[in-house]
Amino acid sequence: MLNFKNGLKVALLSAGLVSAASAQTQLTMYYPVSVGGPLTKVVDGMIADFEAAHPDVDVDAIYAGNYNDARVKSLAALKSGEPAQLSVMFSIDLHELRDLDAIVPFDEVVETDADREWLDSFYPALMENGKVDGKTWGVPFQRSTIVMYYNKNLFRKAGLDPEQPPKNWDELVEYGKALTKRDDSGNVDQWGAMIPSTGYPYWMFGALAKQNGEVLMNQAGTETHFDDPAVVEALAYWRSLGAEHHIMPTGTIEWGTLRQNFLDQKTAIMWHSTGNLTAVKENANFDFGVAMLPARKEPGSPTGGGNFYLFKQSTPEQRQAALQLVKFMTAPERAAQWSIATGYMGVSPAAYETPELEQYTETFPPALVARNQLKYATAELSTHQSGRVRKFLDDAIQATLSGQESAEDALSTAQMQADRILRRYR
């Protein structure tokens, strides 16, 4: 069924009131937010502004749920013969999309020096999940790092300096013990810290591995380092926070409910995406802080979030129109607008030089934490057949945190499983 806008266009064309030469280039874009959510309104506003500035382009934004939904629906559209021209999908989908021959590198679409200058304008750390074999396949938009949220009021009650969050693993344990509160029966009323172990456990684990001086894979996505001693030590430390030090629950901590647990003051510290920053800011009824994650050998967090991709099944006109849309939405002023509205970071240094974001970060310094952490960031786990490889690691994490296996045994198994998949790509 035609929507009103397309129906009106067809009617005008049929009546001869609009010439064929002025007919619009049609773009379909899949975007990973739930229909009707607050982010939908922000994206809708950006697209309306783009269409006003580019009256020859018509954009149909399809909100596809989460990142996995966006990938599944985008690929289904390709197979159906009615493909989208662009989408925001996980930055870690890059190798899979290339293996399917579904996307084209931006290098083949940019034409001008201004285009090439734009392509080089993003933070290098955010481009690690977008570049392979010397080409740029994904452009950052909805990007994040993991940051540490902490309740300053609970710090004060525990006799801790609210302006000095834990800076290393030992301090996280020390502070966590001071912040964990139990009733007379020994039941925990307030946990010292929580790190989510569902949803994206491999992402949280990537942070711990980087803090211990190791990364989980190579840039080409053909090798993993799951059984490296530093990686094993990182997982053993994660388990020790619950099983040995008793500053967080043992077993599973849900990604989807952790933010509410923090807002309900059931935990004094949480590790979570900077994409939650605006929601915490608007809903916390207590004084809170945001800090970089604690270090061991070094600070560190993987980047996360979504990139723009251009699909191969499109006309030259559609590719150029899609490029213009991506350039529009990643421009400094809109990257600043997006960061303020969501908590995701501005994807280029120029975004933080806009008057809007300069003023916002001056009055709300936590908005700078994720950006500042980029100097210590690494790429998010991404390999060929990423879904299967991540599942091996997620299973090893769950088996260790639940006490079913040691970190060494679980990660050794995950490494063998990953090797069996990836050796064909080397």
Final residue in a domain of this structure, among 378, 394, 414: 378
Pair 195, 321 in one domain: no
Query: What's the structural domain count of the chain?
Result: 2
Nearest-angstrom CA–CA distance, 303 and 275 = 12
Convert the pLDDT of each residue in 294-324 to its tens digit: 999 999 999 999 999 999 999 999 999 999 9
Dihedral through CA 371, CA 373, CA 375, CA 376, nearest 10? -150
Q: Do 124 and 204 lie in a common domain? A: no
> What is the C-alpha to C-alpha distance for residues 173 and 179, in angstroms, rounded to an integer?
10
Same domain, 101 and 183: no
Query: In this structure, are 168 and 269 located in the same domain?
Result: yes
Average of per-residue pLDDT values in the chain: 93
Residue 2 lies in a domain: no
In a domain, 404, yes or no: yes
Q: Are residues 365 and 413 in the same domain?
A: no
Q: Is there a single domain that holds both residue 284 and residue 259?
A: yes
Domain membership of residue 314 (yes or no) is yes
- Name the pLDDT band for 40 (thresholds 50, 70, 90): confident
Q: What is the pLDDT of residue 5?
A: 46
Q: CB of 174 within 8 A of CB of 166? A: yes
Asked if residue 181 and residue 191 are part of one domain, the reply reads yes
Is the residue at 292 inside a domain? yes
Supply the range of the domain harboring residue 258: 145-303+382-425
Q: Does residue 6 fall inside a structural domain?
A: no
Q: How far apart are CA 148 and CA 235, in angstroms?
A: 18
Q: Are residues 54 and 170 in the same domain?
A: no
Q: Which amino acid is at 215?
A: V
Rounded CA-CA distance 288/150 in Å is 6
The 3-state secondary structure of 62-109, one letter per residue: EECCCHHHHHHHHHHHHHHCCCCCEEEEEHHHHHHHHHCCCEECHHHC
Q: Are 397 and 369 contained in the same domain?
A: no
Q: What is the spatial distance between Cα 305 and Cα 272, in angstroms, rounded to a whole number?
A: 12
**Average pLDDT score over residue span 32-36:** 68
Closest CA to 212 of 411, 4, 417, 63: 411
Q: What value does the mean pLDDT take over residues 166-176?
A: 98
- Selected residue with higher pLDDT from 419 and 426: 419
Q: Are residues 23 and 123 in the same domain?
A: yes
pLDDT band at 151 (very low <50, low <70, confident <90, very high): very high
At 363-413, the pLDDT tens digits run 999 999 999 999 999 999 999 999 999 999 999 999 999 999 999 999 999
The half-sphere exposure of 17 on its side-chain side, counting CA atoms within 13 A, is 6
Indicate whether 5 belongs to any domain: no
Task: Specify whether 163 is located in the same domain as 107.
Answer: no
In a domain, 284, yes or no: yes
Say which CATH number the domain at 156 has: 3.40.190.10
Residue 1 is assigned to a structural domain of this protein: no
Global pTM reads 0.90
97 with 72, same domain: the answer is: yes
